[in-house]
A and B are shown apart, each in its own frame.
Chain A
Amino acid sequence: MMIHKKAIRGAALTSALLLTFLVGCSSQGDGSTSKDGSGTLYIITQTGGEAKWMAAVTKIFEKKYPNIKVKMDTIAYAQLVAQAASLYTSDGAPDIAYFQTTMPGAAEMYKSGALETVDDVWKTSGLSDAVPAAASDLWSYKGHHFGIVSDTLWTPVVYYNKTLFAKAGIPTPPVQMTDDEWNSIIEKLKSAGVEPLSVGGNDFEAYHLVSAIFQTETTEKEYADALVDTFPNSGVDPKYSSGPMLAALQKVKKWNDDGVFAKGTAALTGGQATSLFEASGAAMWSEGSWGPAVMANNKATIDYGWFLYPSAGEPSKLQLANNSGVVIPAKAKNKVAAKLYLAMLAGVQGQELINGTAGLLSPRDDLSPDANAALPKQTKEALAQQSKLGTVNFWLPDTNVMTAVQTGFAKIITGESTPQQVADEIQRAAKLAHNKP
């Protein structure tokens, strides 16, 4: 009898301890709810340029608001994007979070009210009057801003190693080139025994490359349709099995057959492709406007220039993306401090820091001329030529379509699939996205 009672008491105690442990595992949020924002401000952002920039903004913020302590966590981009929706809507949500309008769950978040509206911040920071209307629209839902656009990107361009180009006897390439000029560069590089192009074939850079070629294959109407056709209720049916997308994929195959891509491209991550270029293992590198900031961060010593991808028809343009920014989750604990911080981040002072610190580009057009002084040389050159080159919005379809394009690139260059098969898979993914209820 005594033994049984002891055993039952033991079981009850174990259960109680287990329950306590499980309840205790739930995260405790940071931050305060005081009227002036006093307390802790919890920020989550991605590693790299954004983290550096926000650290710089944090320094001046904490000086201005000594009653607010900033705590910042950085997460690698791929991991952050994968967990953002669940993280930002949980009880442990940060007060400020890195956000992309194209990340999984982004649309659901702003449509369901999981993000705080920040119209007041757009007004107080002067952002409404300083960015293009397209950028403001991208960050609005039903007339209200759900976040702040923090930087502008263009993607991708081709960075080239000047030393290797000289070794191959290639003169300074034009920024906008034809297919024939491109083919001539490739031939000379291969004759000199130099690997031509380094690109992250197993990463999102592959999708960027295809989108760059895709843009050059479209008419203005086709491209305008492509910008919306993978989204539900857009009224435009996707057409990727034929036409410009198929032409772009056929060009990828031709380039592969011509030996444009470095050995093992299909398995390269973006980081490996960067390292290959920095180590002069390839003469060219496909990356976006953040490329020079990455190279500077890695203390790369090569001398490099840039140009746009070639085009058979109309010259290539700079493709601008304004889909990166920051938001305040509705479950943030210190919204007062968060809005103060965002106003500084989006204001002139914070935006001048983005150029100076991280090499990213501000979307504001009212910064002082000196604001660009700290930009990498290559970025300054592109900025100076922006209006001459022309700009278009970057093609940002549903993530399902981006994945189909990325894996399709690898399938073409390894010979696993034909361009038509990949085009059909992209069409299938586009239709799935378009028909989402």
Chain B
Amino acid sequence: MTRTDEGVALSPHSQAVQRRRRRDMRLTLALTLPGLALVAVFITYPVVETVRLSFQSAGSFGNATFIGWSNFQNLTSDADFLRAIQNNLLFTVIVTVGTVGLGTLFALIINQRVRFWRIYSFLFFLPVIIPMTVIAILWANSLNPQYGWLTAMIHWVFPSFAPNGLLTDPSLAIYVICAVAIWQVSGFPMVIVLGGLRAIAPEIVDSARLDGASATQIAWYVSLPMTKDVIATVTLLQIIFSFKIFDLIQAMTKGGPGAATQVFGTLIYRDAFANGYFGYASAIAVVSTIAIVGISLVYLALIKPKQIERA
């Protein structure tokens, strides 16, 4: 760099660096612009439009009328909406804990390379790749109160338990769906955590083994602490996936019996497409979005962002 009467002049090397930086910036913009355009069209615009609709009385078609906060006020007295809040939180907590716990356990077992570990790995992951609707129909038929094989088996062992069927009992139906979801999705955290376990340097595990640690002690004191970042990441993903649940419940029970398994997704679908109350359904969508964003932010604050970045 040399000082001249016009100010500080850059050396040829610095000028070349600056030119390269500007070129890189232009290239970055050019490459990200299409993606940003897609985000604007398919994410930003629908979100803004949904928020706008939530303040309107809007049917399936035709003009919408601005009604202020009325939709949100009506939500507070909607028994089905209040039930959906409860069910969504219950489902999210149970399924997240269940899938991450079970997935981690499967990963630890498979990581031990027990006999036939490849077969176990395939069987644990198989439900993940089966379409959710197929899973839902499979289980709904198995639990049918009239001809379901699983219902017959349960009643053979426990004759007076849920006489009208598990999916017909409003106090049990949501838990049954949670169990199905856990069975279906556990393979996903399993593969993620397995990847984390495989990344642990073998020397660390070997030295723990040489020190006399058992397989369980190695898992508890070595493997799990070293994969906690991965587990934290997959937990956050599971929270988000669970909170957004729709297809499994819609296919199994449509939110019934009554409103016993109603969640935000099924309620939005019902109010928008079955009842034609798009404004009201949009209000539910806005509330559920705020809820999941809030939950995610709280989670991130608790587990510290650095862990997510590292994972």
Shortest distance from the beta carbon of B266 to any chain A beta carbon, whole Å: 11
Contact indicator B61/A114 (Cβ below 8 Å): yes
**Which of B86-94, B164-172, B237-245 lines the interface with chain A?**
B164-172
Contact indicator B257/A414 (Cβ below 8 Å): yes
Q: Mark B52-79, 1 if CB is under 8 A from A, else 0.
A: 0000010111110101000000100111
Chain B residues numbered 28-85 whose CB sits less than 8 Å from any CB in chain A: 30-31, 33-34, 37-38, 57, 59-63, 65, 67, 74, 77-80
Q: Mark A403-437, 1 if CB is under 8 A from B, else 0.
A: 10001101101111100010001001000100011
Q: Say if the beta carbon of A201 comes within 8 Å of chain B.
A: yes
Contact indicator A407/B60 (Cβ below 8 Å): no
Contact indicator B273/A83 (Cβ below 8 Å): yes
Q: Say if the beta carbon of B218 comes within 8 Å of chain A.
A: no
Contact indicator A105/B258 (Cβ below 8 Å): no
Classify the secondary structure of A's interface with B: helix
Contact indicator B258/A267 (Cβ below 8 Å): no
Q: Say if the beta carbon of A243 comes within 8 Å of chain B.
A: no
Chain B residues numbered 132-168 whose CB sits less than 8 Å from any CB in chain A: 144-146, 163-165, 167-168
A4→B25 CA distance, assembly (Å)? 11
**Complex interface: chain B residues within 8 A of A262 (CB):** 146
**Complex interface: chain B residues within 8 A of A417 (CB):** 79, 258
A266-B256 contact given A7-B31, A104-B274, CB 8 Å threshold: yes
**Which of A11-19, A66-74, A180-188, A245-253 lines the interface with chain B?**
A11-19
Q: Mark A374-418, 1 if CB is under 8 A from B, else 0.
A: 000000000000000000000000111001000110110111110
Q: Please, which residue of chain B has its CB at the minimum distance from the CB of A415?
A: B170
Q: Please, which residue of chain B has its CB at the minimum distance from the CB of A281?
A: B146
Contact indicator B27/A437 (Cβ below 8 Å): no
Contact indicator B57/A414 (Cβ below 8 Å): no
A263-B146 contact given A104-B275, A399-B275, A414-B168, CB 8 Å threshold: yes
Contact indicator A82/B273 (Cβ below 8 Å): yes
Chain A residues numbered 125-151 whose CB sits less than 8 Å from any CB in chain B: none
Chain A's interface size range is 35 or more
Classify the secondary structure of B's interface with A: loop
Q: Say if the beta carbon of A152 comes within 8 Å of chain B.
A: no
Q: Which of A11, A105, A265, A398 contacts B30 (CB 8 A)?
A: A11
**Complex interface: chain A residues within 8 A of B30 (CB):** 7-8, 11-12
A398→B271 CA distance, assembly (Å)? 12
A403→B37 CA distance, assembly (Å)? 39
Contact indicator B270/A267 (Cβ below 8 Å): no
**Complex interface: chain A residues within 8 A of B63 (CB):** 112
A8-B61 contact given A263-B145, A267-B145, A399-B274, CB 8 Å threshold: no
Q: Say if the beta carbon of B188 comes within 8 Å of chain A.
A: no
Contact indicator A267/B256 (Cβ below 8 Å): yes
A299→B170 CA distance, assembly (Å)? 35
**Complex interface: chain B residues within 8 A of A303 (CB):** none
Besides the contacts A266-B168, A403-B275, A414-B260, what 10 more A-B pairs have beta carbons closer than 8 Å? A14-B34, A15-B33, A85-B59, A112-B62, A263-B168, A265-B168, A399-B274, A416-B170, A437-B65, A437-B67
B-contacting residues of A (Cβ < 8 Å)?
4, 7-8, 11-12, 14-15, 18, 81-86, 89, 103-105, 107-109, 111-112, 114, 201-202, 262-267, 272, 276, 281, 398-400, 403, 407-408, 410-411, 413-417, 421, 425, 428, 432, 436-437
